[in-house]
Structure 1
Amino acid sequence: MRVMLFSDFDARGYRTVDVRSGYGEWVRTYERSVEDVMDIGLLDRLTEPSWDRARRVADLACGTGRTGAWLRERGAAAVDGVDLTPEMLDRARVRGAHDYLGEADVRDTGLAGGAYDLVVASLVDEHLADLSPLYREAWRLAASGGVFVLVGYHPHFIMHAGMPTHYTPPDGEPTAISTTVHLISDHVTAALAAGWQLAEMREGVIDEQWLAVKPQWKRFRHHPISVATVWRKP
């Protein structure tokens, strides 16, 4: 699998920080920066899984608890979350959507194996140099017949726009968080190697809903920006 360096596409030249440092600082404005149309809107379009039938969910890279709260609203019975950033977990605890929250890497969560009928990971894969450990860990967590749902930035958008995951800290200097470009075929290769079967895939594009919140992105109209995949464990 060829590694795609973001530096080959970078059109911004922002200073770059590691994931823990970046999200630890971004947490103050994160909720005002990330638009639901990016990830939550795409989850809403999936025809499976049946969210309200999820008895126990593992929410990987749970962040401030946005996804966990959405899962609860859709009827998920119990949600356990892990995240690498303590400051994000603090916000998630205040939100109160999770039954358990722990500080851990998505590639080694420490959660119980085979205990979850649904595993979810949102907006994290671009921060991983190698996708295989994520898919293997999701497989370990999932019960037989379980589902893994992953939603993230579309590689086309990262490459075409040359835009990394970034935020603006108090000093006003835009700052990027370490970003890696993964082709969709990289995801398929890693998932199949871990044993997953593809059940569904949806791509989100810059449309009128997007332009309502990002009118400056008219030049990106009709370009794909996010992608969601649903994987089933036989």
Structure 2
Amino acid sequence: MKLSRDILAFQARLGHEFSSPELLIRALTHPSVSSPNRQDNQRLEFLGDRVLGLVMATALLEHDKDATEGQLAPRFNALVRKETCADVARQIDLGAVLKLGRSEMLSGGRRKQALLGDAMEAVIAAVYRDAGFEAAQSVILRLWGKRVGTVEEDARDPKTALQEFVQARRQPPPAYVLVARKGPDHEPIFTIAARLEDGTEEQATAGSKRLAEQAAAKALLAKLEQQT
């Protein structure tokens, strides 16, 4: 199979040259453009999620040989979550080579976090199917880079940390209030306030309610810690 210049350039960014390039093409094919003669990437996404999980679990065990399961679990979740996969996808400009249907292209599909995260997992599976576990492991560890070593801070859930902080001071848990929702349905922007009973609050804006809540909680916790 002859690959386009864009796909060849993406292979270089990925760091793996495919013996069976049809695997890569399938990994880059979104369901919006699939057909009876063109398979989409959903089955590869399912497999890639498991390959990524095994690589990250192994890497965490090797990085911190004294960590407990309770310490490892949130670190693992931070490394394999869709947001992290999407960040890695942006790092190698995966969105530029995705094969999308017209509706997805018009709605900004190449920038969508969930779509990028899914495709990144599919690409991991394609590498695994093409060259085996060690090749997939090598690609993952190179692309995830320093994240394994710095994941401790990322793994700290801001909402949990804020709740523990206020409860330790015998205050009610914070409320999360939707302040504004802007943008089109396919790409909404949410502004959320993390608010305490006494009216103290911080606001944050993000592309999902969950991310906005976490950012608001982080900002409010930082404010409270400065006041103590």
What range is the shorter-chain TM-score in?
A: under 0.3
* Greater relative contact order, per chain length (Cα 8 Å cut-off, separation 6+): 1
Report the structure, 1 or 2, having the larger strand content: 1
Report the structure, 1 or 2, having the larger helix content: 2
Larger radius of gyration: 2
